[in-house]
Chain A
């Protein structure tokens, strides 16, 4: 008698997205440097954005997801998150890491009428994604605050 064994893969319970800051090899962390300069409202929104998307399996359905960048940035699947604080548009550029559900934050910037501040934000995101693949930069995990 033969039994057909059907293997059902259950979703890994409790596995949420983790967020990692891009870091230069010199230990300088441009994401944290950008974040600490945000206003209090900006900091709260930044944290809320990450908290909100960490439980959403499919990045296409991340509410703050603006778009996947086209052009040369498409090579590294760089995406753009948006949030608003102090009547300003903020953007986080990032891509996916090598691990499952690993999101890498590459650049934090502002955006107004198609102009990014700093103006080289897209180029920086591309360069940083490239350096990560080449081992010329590293990552540090970002802890999402759940106490505020």
Chain B
């Protein structure tokens, strides 16, 4: 049995091993993100510690893999100190693996609130009910226009919602197959 097959077998059959698997990734990805955020913000550990009302050695420990066990509260305080948000969501293991594979500390960046234009100056709201918009657009083009069929429970959205009658009815499948 190959090493991967063995690991997959254990992942399927043993919840403790699944926990180890998740831990092995988060133990690196969380400290790495914290370090990346601090470096992008050009902050020293001391400056960040003052902002987060923590001690500098704690900041240092948080940036070392496996050094501390993060609580959600600690992560919230760190996010607040950096002026960024925090998303904690449960995902499939494949999505977690994809995240790990694509992660780069150098490229990682979360826009702090001071530079977050989308948050500070949100653009005027778009027409809220695009479904209703699509219906009326279809009426403009004519009822002979055939709508693409959904496959495998895929969602539909207009390619340019509210962009004009000539665009209406064009649809794009998301998450098909």
Contacts and interface: CB of A to CB of B under 8 A. Distances in A.
Given A40-B20, A44-B21, A55-B104, A84 B35 contact: no
B24 A48 contact: yes
Given A48-B24, A48-B28, A64 B65 contact: yes
B28 A49 contact: yes
B24 A44 contact: yes
B65 A57 contact: no
B169 interface: no
Nearest to B24: A44
B105 A40 contact: no
Contact of A56 (B7, B31, B104): B104
A56 B106 contact: yes
Contacts of A43: 3, 7
B10 interface: yes
Contacts of A148: 4, 7-8, 97
Contacts of A146: 97, 101
Nearest to A41: B20
A52 B10 contact: no
Interface string B7-28: 1101000000100110111011
Contact of B17 (A40, A55, A85): A40
B39 interface: yes
Contacts of B72: none
Most buried by B among A40, A82, A85: A40
B104 A83 contact: no
Contacts of B35: 61, 63
A63 B104 CA distance: 11
Contacts of A29: none
A55 B4 contact: no
B contact face: mostly helix, strand, loop, or mixed: helix
B64 A56 contact: no
A85 to B, nearest CB: 7
Nearest to A62: B105
B59 to A, nearest CB: 13
B27 A45 contact: yes
Interface of B: 3-4, 6-8, 10, 17, 20-21, 23-25, 27-29, 31-32, 35, 39, 63-67, 97, 100-101, 103-107
Interface of A: 40-41, 43-45, 48-49, 51-52, 55-57, 61, 63-64, 82-85, 145-148
Given A44-B21, A63-B105, A146-B101, 20 more contacts: A40-B6, A40-B7, A40-B20, A41-B17, A41-B23, A41-B24, A44-B7, A45-B24, A45-B27, A48-B100, A49-B28, A52-B100, A55-B104, A61-B35, A64-B64, A64-B65, A82-B64, A82-B65, A83-B27, A83-B66
CB-based closest 5 A-B pairs = A84-B66, A55-B104, A44-B24, A63-B32, A41-B20
17 contacts: A40-B10, A40-B20, A41-B24, A44-B7, A45-B27, A49-B28, A51-B101, A56-B104, A57-B106, A63-B64, A64-B28, A83-B65, A85-B20, A145-B4, A146-B97, A147-B4, A148-B7
